[in-house]
Amino acid sequence: MRKSTGRRFLLAGNWKMHATRPETTALIDGIKEAAAKARDRDVLVAPPFTALETAARALVGTTIGLAAQNLHTEPKGAFTGEIAGEMLKDVGCGWVIVGHSERRQYCNETNELVRLKIDAALRAGLTPIVCIGETLREREADNTLPVIERQVREGLAGLSRDAVKNLVIAYEPVWAIGTGKTATPEQAEEAHGAIRRLLREFAGETGAESIRILYGGSVKADNVDALMAQPNIDGALVGGASLDTTAFSRIIAFQ
């Protein structure tokens, strides 16, 4: 826990559509040591659905958490190909990523759908990691803050203060995801500070101070230290580098 903020850092690996079951076991084995040493921070992995049970077994005896990458809005029913929050809970997940920009972009997920998914996750007892962030076009048009404000307002609409306090937010500028371009620590901090101020409306002043806001977008071993030094950055959502155990171990052990 950081004495200055009272928030624990969270380092989350989003494996996207990567990792068979044997690869899952190897990826987890490769970060166990780093995670065990990182007592003052939380670590989790988000494998694809087919590897969740294997991951849950491999994680026994560790403090590494398990997340899914998506869920459906309903607890059960005739929704071919979908997975419910209750099923994720049953397989051992404690967390679920909601509204990742790849889902917004390729699966047409809207802020309204994100809101329903947050509700579904909370009902199932999962902690949602809610992704927001602007595209390059929106940033170049000087629209970054209005876009993320809208994503927060529409995504969190109607949630109780207690529900909002249980969320993790991930600020992920779309132009930085998987591109090798990272937001500068100053650009990221500007967005994180704005998000935290906005969260006061939803969770009150102390509530907003307790919510973790992760940065995501080409986080690597060589840029993680400077990003994590920012006062409103409480961890990272890591895609590509979380598939390399040496790189992710170094990210977990950031200074």
Positions that interact with ligand PEP (CB under 6 A)? 14, 16, 172, 177-178, 216-219, 237-241
**Catalytic one of 100, 102, 109, 138:** 100
**In whole angstroms, how close is the CB of 205 to ligand PEP at the nearest point?**
29
Instruction: Please identify, using beta-carbon distances, which residue of 47 and 203 lies nearer to ligand PEP.
Output: 47
> Helices marked H in the chain — which ranges?
21-29, 32-37, 52-58, 85-91, 101-106, 111-123, 136-140, 144-155, 161-165, 185-210, 224-228, 245-252
d(CA 9, CA 4): 12
- What secondary structure letter does DSSP report for 244? S
Cβ neighbours around 199 below 10 Å, total = 23
d(CA 99, CA 216): 13
Instruction: Please identify, using beta-carbon distances, which residue of 172 and 189 lies nearer to ligand PEP.
Output: 172
**In whole angstroms, how close is the CB of 239 to ligand PEP at the nearest point?**
2
Q: Which residues contact 64 (CB under 8 A, 6 or more apart)?
A: 28, 31, 32, 35, 43, 44, 45
Instruction: Please identify, using beta-carbon distances, which residue of 69 and 232 lies nearer to ligand PEP.
Output: 69
Q: Is 192 a catalytic residue?
A: no
Q: Is 172 a catalytic residue?
A: yes
- Are 44 and 66 spatial neighbours (Cβ–Cβ below 8 Å)? yes
Instruction: Please identify, using beta-carbon distances, which residue of 19 and 237 lies nearer to ligand PEP.
Output: 237
- 154 token code pair: 């529409």
Residue nearest to ligand PEP (CB): 239
Instruction: Please identify, using beta-carbon distances, which residue of 122 and 219 lies nearer to ligand PEP.
Output: 219
**Catalytic one of 102, 109, 138, 172:** 172
Q: Is 132 exposed, middle or buried (0-12, 13-18, 19+ CB in 10 A)?
A: buried
**In whole angstroms, how close is the CB of 76 to ligand PEP at the nearest point?**
28
Instruction: Please identify, using beta-carbon distances, which residue of 130 and 177 lies nearer to ligand PEP.
Output: 177
Cβ neighbours around 188 below 10 Å, total = 25
Q: Which residues contact 19 (CB under 8 A, 6 or more apart)?
A: 27, 47, 48, 51, 243
Residues catalogued as catalytic:
100, 172
